[in-house]
Amino acid sequence: MHRDSERHKLFSRRAAMLGGGKALLLSTLAARMYYLQVVESDRYKTLADENRINLRLLAPPRGRIVDRFGRAMADNQQNYRAVVIPEQAGDLSITLDLLSKIIPMGDKDWRRILREAKRKRAFVPITVRENLSWGDVARIEVNTPDLPGVLIDVGQSRNYIYGSEAAHIMGYVAAVSEKEISGDPLLELPGFRIGKAGIEKVYDMQLRGAGGSSQVEVNALGRVIRELARQEGQPGNEVRLTINLDLQRFVAKLLNDESASVVVMDVHSGDVLAMVSSPSFDPNMFNKGLNQAQWDTLINNEKSPLTNKAISGQYSPGSTFKMAVAMAALEKGSITPETKIHCSGSTKLGNAEFHCWKRGGHGAVNMEEAIEQSCDVYFYETARRAGIDRISAMGERLGMGKSLELGLPSEKYGLMPTRKWKMGALNEPWQMGETMIAGIGQGYVLTTPLQLAVMTARIANGGFKVFPRIVVDEDGSDSEIELESIGIAPEYLQIVKNGMNRVVNGEKGTARKARIPNAGMEMAGKTGTVQVRRITKSERETGVLKNNELPWKERDHALFVGFGPVENPRFAVSVVVEHGGSGSAAAAPLARDILLEVQKLALSTPVPALREANSKDIGKDGGEDVA
């Protein structure tokens, strides 16, 4: 009995201890559950929502690029793309094989899709092809029962409405490369495009806009169940150009893929009304993605379609530079407008002989006659008297040899050579023969078509420092600008303008065949023909080969600068035709058609004055004494 009693007491103590332990565990569990469900409820509710709700960034519509009248030049259009969801496709290879019979798919596409299918989760859509035509979309939709997992998705794609006609101004957008990822989450969105050239590149941030967001409900695997909320992104800002779209298209068609460039400017405001580099390219190709064959065609073209020749092409200006030489000599007083210099067809400096383009010579000519007939001998002597430093200084005052800050990538400066420049660059002293060659715009002298247009505008507007611009002020307003004088006496400018008038409208003018017959629309200008090869003494003796007898690359460049109308100048133009031969035959007729067209357009649809120029009168003493 005693033993049974002790055993009972031991059992009771053990039961009590076990019961106490259980009670302690249950109270601990209850306390923990209270803490989690009551004290920490808000925190865990948030965490649960974050697992259930996924925030996704939405690409904003890219801002439009429009001309001066507000007409769209770059816009967005619907982009139909075919996507495939691997988990719904079953055997992905079979589905892709069926799809390839409806839309073209290369080996590269196959490899990319299969690679992405292995890397991504099975329910994530994979882009098969973008920029599908409506016919492609219709064929895919009709065959949907036989294409499991294939869907049509709709997005936006950049569209350059006029293609190659304004490509060098617009530039293009393309996919973001790894080195361009800067932390902006927009850049990591599939298919997002950024500006890579032209206006698209310079104004990329303004055109991008701000991203939107989408709240979607997902399951534990991350599969989208439904969209809960959506906030569209803020579209990019619109960029307004000074370009007149009608004129831009007219010039592009006129050049007809010739290797050439044209710039048309308002001589008072500096607005660039047209800027064409030819041949061109279709910027839509870069947006859609170039294949290797297309890229090779572009970069191997000897006429350089990817180069904006209007701002990046550097050329000897030839005889179009003679106005700068004339004014430099007039300012120095080394020559007067009435001074006559005899041209026999050539002149000598030591043992070197310098030839005029006219073999028999022009006889005795004064300044206006020399400009009219483009007498080289006259300007050899005029340059010798003026000196290279004065000539280069005049060129810079007219807008050459330095950046004009147009705001487009790859603008070149050209070169106005001086004695100091040559010693620093080549460690050689300047030679008088080099000054004489510079007098006809060759040798070391280099300019761009844009600079030639600015030079012409500054002469035409009475000697005011107008600068070119291609984008209207970002705030959309354009206040009056005050133009500064370049310090050339009005009578000197008038002599040069008279000579340019005679070039086109005079009896002996080198461009008289290109004159504008319309009363009140006459143009003035200057031709230029630039050698790109050296003519040997033996060739001169046997007869210089004509341009059409030479390979294209060895033919002379053809240039022309002009303004109109003569009596009240408003528009300036520069034309450069690479290896075009004679400036009077190849470039002047183009300038005539362009200046006539821009004046007609201004009458039929007045060019809006996006900004007014306010200039001060130039007095006779405004001439600057340049050392």
- Tell me the C-alpha distance between 417 and 443, whole Å: 9
Residues 149-198 pLDDT 10s: 887 877 788 999 999 999 999 999 987 877 887 777 777 666 678 999 99
Closest CA to 132 of 157, 110, 149: 157
C-alpha angle 172/175/177, rounded to 5°? 115
> H or E element: which one contains 99?
helix 92-100
Which amino acid is present at 441?
Answer: G
Closest CA to 206 of 476, 590, 1, 433: 476
Output the six-digit token pair for 34. 């209270």
What is the pTM assigned to this prediction? 0.83
- Tell me the C-alpha distance between 150 and 96, whole Å: 9
- Tell me the C-alpha distance between 394 and 327, whole Å: 7
- Tell me the C-alpha distance between 33 and 433, whole Å: 99
266: helix, strand or coil: strand
Catalytic positions are: 319
DSSP state of 447: B
- Write out residues in the chain with pLDDT < 70, as ranges: 1-11, 13-16, 34-36, 38-57, 120, 123-124, 188-191, 213-229, 474-480, 535-545, 549, 607-612, 614-627
Closest CA to 416 of 376, 437, 388: 388
- CA distances, 230 to each of 55, 81, 88, 157, 575 (Å): 10, 22, 26, 21, 52
* pLDDT, position 398: 97
Which amino acid is present at 548?
Answer: N
* DSSP, residue by residue, 214-261: EEEEE-TT--EEEEEEEEPPBPPPPEEBS--HHHHHHHHHHHTT-SEE
C-alpha angle 68/69/70, rounded to 5°? 95
* pLDDT, position 627: 29
Q: C-alpha 578: how far from its chain's center?
A: 20
Q: C-alpha 408: how far from its chain's center?
A: 6
Closest CA to 583 of 512, 515, 534, 511: 511
On the CB side of 379, CA atoms within 13 Å amount to 31
- CA distances, 621 to each of 334, 463, 490, 618 (Å): 17, 13, 9, 8
Which amino acid is present at 539?
Answer: E
Q: Are 527 and 374 in contact (CB under 8 A)?
A: yes
* pLDDT, position 615: 62
Residues 5-42 pLDDT 10s: 666 565 676 666 777 777 777 777 777 776 667 665 65
The residue whose two tokens read 């989450």 is 185
Output the six-digit token pair for 338. 């009435």
Phi and psi at residue 382, in whole multiples of 5°?
A: -60, -40
Torsion of CA 112, 113, 119, 120, to 10 degrees: 140
Q: Are 531 and 582 in contact (CB under 8 A)?
A: no
Closest CA to 76 of 88, 67, 65: 65
Q: For the chain, which domains are there?
A: 58-240 (3.90.1310.10), 245-297+307-616 (3.40.710.10)
